[in-house]
Amino acid sequence: MTRIVITGGAGRLGRSLVAGLTARGHEVLSFDRALSAAPELRGAQQRAIDLCDADATSQALAESAADALIHLAAIAVPFSAPEDVIMRTNAGLAVSVLGGAVAAGIPNIVAASSPTVLGYGNRGWVPDRFPLDEQTPPQPGNAYALSKLVIEDTLAMLRRQTGDDVRYAAFRPCYVIAPEEWAGAPTQQGHTVHERLDDPALSAPAVFNYVDARDVAGFVDTLLAALGEIPNGETFFVGADDALAREPLAELVPRFFPGTDEVAAVLTGTSPAFSNAKAGRLLGWHPQYLWRDQLQTARKEQLA
């Protein structure tokens, strides 16, 4: 059993991560702005804390006696606050939390980044190839994406300071869908999964990526077990094995991203625009949940 601190544990992804890691036998502590009554957190300890307060954060992390830190806390939606606020908050949290974890002597530090660092919202965006992966150059086009790249760079900075005495990794979760959202609860953008499938324009800004929150929990569990064996400071995409779309992306992507006809031609069938192959190769991790199966299961449960 590992003792794990999760910052932002009361958030959308945080709740599923707390529940998933607790179910796998870990002792989980959730650090967030306020305590939560969410049922997913019943098996975890909670601490209300202002994570932007670097001194208080460092002290709380030292008191946690944790074996690992998973940093999720952030303003989680692009343009949901003024650009300067997003940048100041997310970058400040990176230094406060990640630096505080190093100061507290936590030996395993993992942080959530975002696929948006690749800049697919930029005007005239045409990648050099599909699928997009960890070798695709980051080109952040807004404060949220830039702040997520700062998180990755903060990990790299700390790794230069500590060497391999501390193990680091970053992961870029695709558009997270929580279990209840398959049954019709609103997703992060306020639309249902069915609405995102019925109107491709809703999923196009994320290039039709998605991941079930339970798969993220499985990924993190697998990553923590492997941190000491893989190269230090790796970054991983965490996404489903297909795209959140009913039509092949070879047809959809050029419709919403002009000039991508040639590079998108490889995205046939249900192929996603983002590759999770690195996680499979280095960690042996593979996602378990596909939207077609989950919608069918939700439908059967509703009819039962």
Tens digit of each residue's pLDDT (9 = 90 or more) over 146-157? 999 999 999 999
Q: Would you say residue 269 lies in a domain?
A: no
Helix (H) / strand (E) element for 18: namely helix 12-23
Say which CATH number the domain at 125 has: 3.40.50.720
Q: Would you say residue 256 lies in a domain?
A: no
Cα–Cα distance measured from residue 290 to residue 217, given in angstroms and rounded to the nearest whole number: 15
- pTM, full prediction: 0.96
Joined together, the tokens standing for residue 192 give: 């249902």
16 neighbors 179 (Cβ within 8 angstroms): yes
Number of structural domains, the chain? 1
For the segment 43-86, what is each residue's pLDDT rounded down to a tens digit? 999 999 999 999 999 999 999 999 999 999 999 889 899 999 99
Residues making up the chain, counted from first to last = 304
Q: Which residues of the chain have pLDDT under 50?
A: none
Q: Would you say residue 81 lies in a domain?
A: yes
Q: Would you say residue 298 lies in a domain?
A: no
Q: Would you say residue 139 lies in a domain?
A: yes
Q: Would you say residue 247 lies in a domain?
A: no
131 preceded by cis ω (within 30°)? yes
Residue 124 belongs to domain spanning: 3-177+212-240+274-288
Q: Would you say residue 228 lies in a domain?
A: yes
How confident is the model at residue 1, as a pLDDT?
Answer: 63
Q: Would you say residue 295 lies in a domain?
A: no
How confident is the model at residue 223, as a pLDDT?
Answer: 98
How confident is the model at residue 134, as a pLDDT?
Answer: 98
How confident is the model at residue 301, as a pLDDT?
Answer: 86
